[in-house]
Amino acid sequence: MNTRRKFIKLSILSSASLFITKQLFAHTAKKYDTVKDNAIVISTWDFGKAANAAAWEVLKNNGKALDAVEAGVKVPEADPDVQSVGLGGRPDRDGRVTLDACIMDEKNNCGSVACLEHIVHAISVARMVMEKTPHIILVGDGALQFALENGFKKENLLTAKSENEWKKWLEKTEYKPVMNIENEHYHPKGDKDNHDTIGMVAMDNNGDFSGACTTSGLSYKMHGRVGDSPIIGAGLFVDNEVGAATATGVGEEVIRIAGAHLIVEFMRNGDEPEVACRKAVERIIQKSPKDLKDVQVGFLAMNKKGEYGAYSLQKGFTYCIRSGKEEKIHDAKSAF
Ligand code: ASP
């Protein structure tokens, strides 16, 4: 090989290795940036803001999405002024506060409790079902027994306020799920506040997803009624390759179409989160045998890129987002 050819060959080789090295560094640098910026949490309704703040404390310190969503939804569970979740929740028609909750992590582990009485943090019981039992769902007395055996405290969840409202309801006993509940605690000036179930979905700095969903269910439901919130695939679904989705509103409509799972599948097929949520709402409209005029359902979803979106049947559904860049309450678009 003459010197000139050797020189050309060498310079080609060295520029190739320089290119590869650069690419490697670029990749590492990019990965680092992405990892740092990943964390994001979204949740349903205005009370999601305080819940997101608690979740954010975990996420910003490189905590796991699973710990973040549990810490987040425990906030409204413990707040007696949130009358649709945990302590202070509105009772069923027999005056019993029965809670539904579920949790799911990035490895498709999931746990759930339904119709659980006397325990404020239903979500933590659901997590314990996931981590300590061979099962996924425990209900009623069995769920309570499991909680008590595992150190949870038995409490009266029916506050005077919710009890008085129930007694007033008994005068007419008209069963009509309220579309968007007004809450003077959150909007003392009498503005509209809409809230029901808290559904929360988070991605941590590792890019892993988890979700949690917890509620006292529809007010004045029949005793024993279970909604969508503790049903994996209806009120909540996580697929770490794709993203996650959660639901709020009239659970019967959500269960009918396996709402959260459907949304994740739409995202898997390339739909952005808002489009996926809209398509799920349209599926309800298409499939429901009921008149949906007074029925609210809201869906909320996030994909692996950290893009999020929501859609509801009726106006009035709000959701909250918290990340390193944003802390906001959004109004969801709606079909009607
Ligand atoms: N989805 C809940 C249920 O059906 C209630 C709600 O979100 O308003 O129990």
Among the listed residues 44, 98, 159, 197, the single catalytic one is 197
Return the H-helix or E-strand segment holding 262: helix 259-268
Statement to judge: residues 230 and 125 lie in one domain: yes
Q: Which domain holds residue 223?
A: 36-334
* Cα–ligand 1 centroid distance for 174 (angstroms): 18
* Cα–ligand 1 centroid distance for 34 (angstroms): 35
Helical packing angle, 140-149 and 122-132, nearest 10°: 80
Statement to judge: residues 8 and 84 lie in one domain: no
Confidence of residue 179 (pLDDT cuts 50, 70, 90): low
Confidence of residue 300 (pLDDT cuts 50, 70, 90): very high
Give residue for tokens 């859609």: 311
Q: What is the pLDDT of residues 37-93, one digit of tens each?
A: 799 999 999 999 999 999 999 999 999 999 999 999 999 999 999 999 999 999 999
Query: Residue 312 has what pLDDT?
Result: 97
Statement to judge: residues 26 and 156 lie in one domain: no
Domain count, the chain: 2
Tell me whether strands 333-334 and 308-312 are parallel, antiparallel or unpaired.
Answer: parallel
Statement to judge: residues 19 and 58 lie in one domain: no
Q: How big is the CA angle at 93 (ends 252 and 251), to the nearest 5 degrees?
A: 15
Residues with CB under 6 A from ligand 1: 100, 196-197, 215, 217-218, 227-229, 248-251
Q: What is the pLDDT of residues 122-160, one digit of tens each?
A: 999 999 999 999 999 999 999 999 999 999 999 999 999
Active site residue 197: yes
Statement to judge: residues 172 and 214 lie in one domain: yes
Read off the CATH number of the domain in which 321 is found. Answer: 3.60.20.30
Q: Is the pLDDT of residue 200 over 90?
A: yes
Statement to judge: residues 65 and 203 lie in one domain: yes
Confidence of residue 6 (pLDDT cuts 50, 70, 90): low
Statement to judge: residues 76 and 7 lie in one domain: no
Statement to judge: residues 133 and 204 lie in one domain: yes
Residue 246 contacts residue 44 (beta carbons within 8 Å): yes
Alpha-carbon gap, residue 242 to 263, rounded angstroms: 10
Identify which of 181, 182, 194, 197 to mutate to test ligand 1's pocket (most ligand atoms within 8 A of the CB).
Answer: 197
Q: Is the pLDDT of residue 19 over 60?
A: no
Statement to judge: residues 194 and 291 lie in one domain: yes
Statement to judge: residues 221 and 86 lie in one domain: yes
Secondary structure E strands in the chain = 40-44, 99-104, 110-116, 137-139, 198-203, 209-215, 236-239, 243-249, 297-303, 308-312, 318-323, 327-331, 333-334
* Cα–ligand 1 centroid distance for 101 (angstroms): 11
Q: Residue 232 has what DSSP assignment?
A: B
Atom of ligand 1 nearest to the CA of 226: 9
Statement to judge: residues 2 and 121 lie in one domain: no
Alpha-carbon gap, residue 31 to 25, rounded angstroms: 10
Statement to judge: residues 202 and 169 lie in one domain: yes
Return the H-helix or E-strand segment holding 171: helix 160-172
Q: Is the pLDDT of residue 195 over 70?
A: no
